[in-house]
Amino acid sequence: MPYPMTTANLLVELFTEELPPKALPRLGDAFAHTLAESLAAQGLAAADSVVTPYATPRRLAAHLTAVADKAADRPLAQKLMPASVGLDAAGQPTSALLKKLAALGLPPEAAARLRREGEGKAQTLFIDTVVPGVTLAEGLQKALDAAIARLPIPKVMGYQLADGWSTVKFVRPAHGLVALHGSSVVPVQALGLAAGRLTRGHRSEAACDPIELVDADHYAQQLRDEGAVIASFAERRSDIARQLQAAAAAAGAGLTPIDDPTLLDEVTALVERPNVLACAFDPAFLDVPQECLILTMKANQKYFPLLNAQGRLTHRFLVVSNLTPADASAVVAGNERVVRPRLADAKFFFDQDRKRPLQSRVPALDKVVYHAKLGTQGQRMRRVQAMAAAIAAEMPSSAPDGVQLAERAALLAKADLLTDMVGEFPELQGIMGRYYAQHDGEHPLVAEAIEDHYKPRFAGDELPRSDVGLALALADKLDTLVGLFGIGERPSGDKDPYALRRHALGIVRMAIEREAEMRALPLSALLAIAHAAFQGVAGYADPTAEVRAFITERLANMLREQGYSVQEVDAVLALAPEHLAEVPKRLAAVRAFAALPEAPALAAANKRVGNILKKSPPSGSGAALRQELLREPAEKALAAALAAVEPRARAALQRGDSTAALRALAVLKTPVDTFFDQVMVNVDDAALRANRLVLLARLQQAMNAVADLSRLAA
């Protein structure tokens, strides 16, 4: 008689000491979904079972709907052995077969249920059995072990259990385990803990402690009502965001909290029941650059600065407290008292740094190692200075002395690394350089370029604002890429310690989005400028071809992420375009061409032409087509059609209309098809063969002026 399977909702919770806040969202999701996947794989959770992750500073939990207390039994066809081995001449079981059955826990009588598959000597013996479904206790134990083992733990710590002898390793010491199937405890164990139904609430505001859970479905409600804890990370985050907006509005018209999703995630991971409070600091501190104050409050205190309608910092800020006292004045005063020395430190650093001009710090760059094989920051600065000047010389500058300004900006760009402010907050490099350059009376474009040469710092970041900043940013990124590739430092897998992929994407974006300034700087010219700056560096080998391939690969990945197909991207990049700004235009043209009814046939013909020319390339470079050797009507028609198309396509390319250039090729479909149907290319007559190869070479050149259309062939 089959086991009467019942389902109920399941709740599993690990109660721990404070978990690392930056990792908490990932830990919560991984714990819940690994549990769900394992239970589903064992037949205990239905495909439509809903999993709800919970994560607070002191717990990881998951709620799953429709979990069975036992998985269904499943039939299993067990392969035994060849019939010739398992049965004797009389068809009776051999000792080998009986031993195999015994090993499977089956009695000798089971031989009567054998069935054969196959024919003749190839027959194989099978027996149909039923595998009992796993119980929830067994399956959940396996799932829990897997969930703990697969957690994306940033750093494991070891700790002793209560027995004083046993040691376990986990992200933080665990003190409680809950496993409820409906209202019943599932007897599982983890990290030296046995499952029960008790959990803990807020450290200081829980109505009762511990909390005895009624069942799986009342977990979140009981934690909220009895424990003063919002168990859901997403719900807690949403509540904080709502409170921040409300508190900002109450603090003053037009005020808004700084938009920082990462900070919001981190603060959500630090509190169990959030309470947003408005605070203020001395307005005199606003004389310090707002980037310094904002970073101080965010990084050190996890505060949310308030900005006015113009995006400028005000002297007000918001605190997300984990306490909800009847009188919050003490909490507010405490946070205002704590932030003051932090802001005072920032003001001290700013005042001290301005006592020395940036240029006075430049000689000390020769004492700061950039890379053991590439020298000091001073040596790097001089390379970047040479590159920036060479790049700026090829740009249409908005200033008459653009080259000199680029050199000056390169000279000062890394000097702020030696200031107290950047020493305390490395995230401010470049930003503080701009402030200090302005204080020193440097040209506005120089000050701006010092900040902008780090841009773009991330996907979607803005680009340098001026041609001076653009030249310096390109030089800085080229120095990093060409220099590190030149000494054998390359990204490997997901490891990219020098952010070379980001630098390559930065060059790609600047080349594409700043087309006007980059018109005279093809990719090969940029790489040649960078390579020249490394002459004489010991251990450096020319990496320009490899760097070019690396940049092209990053461009290809970016384009595919934007929705272009692999074939479209390959078709354009196969021609190794020098001006990357042309790539998006060519991609648009290829996409428009691919939509034409003639496109598949022309792409296939192009591929065929390429294969012919690989095997039999035309003799001589740029050989002219001889009209008197065009014998067949089909080759005459193709030559005439090509002669008519070439000038139209060429004119379209000259005016930058790649789409029109490709559309002009559509009329070639019929003459190309007819040519291949009626003309033999590799004829015995050497002169005829050579002339037809020249015709095909011209055809390929015309068809591939924008992209290698053969890459579009199926």
For residue range 215-224, list pLDDT tens digits in order: 999 999 999 9
Could you tell me the two tokens for 3?
């086991």
Q: For domain 584-712, is the CATH number 1.10.730.10?
A: yes
Q: Where in the chain is the domain with CATH 3.30.70?
A: 7-71+135-227
Q: Examine the pLDDT at 237 and tell me if it is beyond 90.
A: yes
Q: Give the Cα separation of 174 and 156 in Å (integer).
A: 12
Read off the amino acid at residue 252: G
- For residue 2, what pLDDT is reported? 46
Read off the amino acid at residue 538: A
For residue range 252-301, list pLDDT tens digits in order: 889 999 999 999 999 999 999 999 999 999 999 999 999 999 999 999 89
Q: Examine the pLDDT at 622 and tell me if it is beyond 70.
A: no
CA distances from 408 to 412, 421, 521 (A): 7, 22, 21
- For residue 4, what pLDDT is reported? 54
Q: Where in the chain is the domain with CATH 1.10.730.10?
A: 584-712
Q: Give the Cα separation of 277 and 267 in Å (integer).
A: 14
For residue range 673-683, list pLDDT tens digits in order: 999 999 898 88
What is the CATH topology of the domain spanning 369-563? Hypothetical protein af1432 (1.10.3210)
For residue range 472-515, list pLDDT tens digits in order: 999 999 999 999 999 999 998 888 999 999 999 999 999 999 99
Q: Give the Cα separation of 608 and 651 in Å (integer).
A: 27
Chain-centroid distance of CA 206 in Å reads: 40
Q: Examine the pLDDT at 121 and tell me if it is beyond 80.
A: no
Contacts of 217-226 spanning 24+ positions with Cβ under 8 A: 217/9, 217/11, 217/63, 219/11, 219/13, 219/54, 219/61, 219/63, 219/180, 220/54, 220/63, 223/199, 226/201
Q: Where in the chain is the domain with CATH 1.10.3210?
A: 369-563
- HSE (CB half, 13 Å, CA atoms) of 347? 13
Confidence of residue 620 (pLDDT cuts 50, 70, 90): low
Q: Is the pTM higher than 0.85?
A: no
- Number of Cβ within a 10 Å radius of residue 241: 16
- For residue 1, what pLDDT is reported? 38
Q: How large a percentage of the chain has pLDDT more than 90?
A: 73
Tell me which residue of 292, 354, 320 sits closest to 57, measured CA to CA.
320
> Ramachandran region of residue 43, left (φ > 0), alpha (ψ -120 to 50) or beta?
left
Q: Examine the pLDDT at 331 and tell me if it is beyond 90.
A: yes
For residue range 391-429, list pLDDT tens digits in order: 999 998 777 899 999 999 999 999 999 999 999 999 999
Q: What is the mean pLDDT of the chain?
A: 92
What is the CATH topology of the domain spanning 7-71+135-227? Alpha-Beta Plaits (3.30.70)
Q: Examine the pLDDT at 621 and tell me if it is beyond 70.
A: no
Read off the amino acid at residue 37: E
Tell me which residue of 260, 262, 311 sits closest to 290, measured CA to CA.
311
For residue range 154-210, list pLDDT tens digits in order: 889 999 888 878 889 999 999 999 999 999 999 999 999 999 999 999 999 999 889
- For residue 87, what pLDDT is reported? 87
Q: Give the Cα separation of 197 and 211 in Å (integer).
A: 8
Could you tell me the two tokens for 144?
């829990």
**Cβ partners under 8 Å of residue 472, min gap 6:** 384, 388, 406, 409, 410, 413, 449, 450, 452, 453, 464
Q: If you ran DSSP here, which 8-state letter would residue 152 be given?
A: -
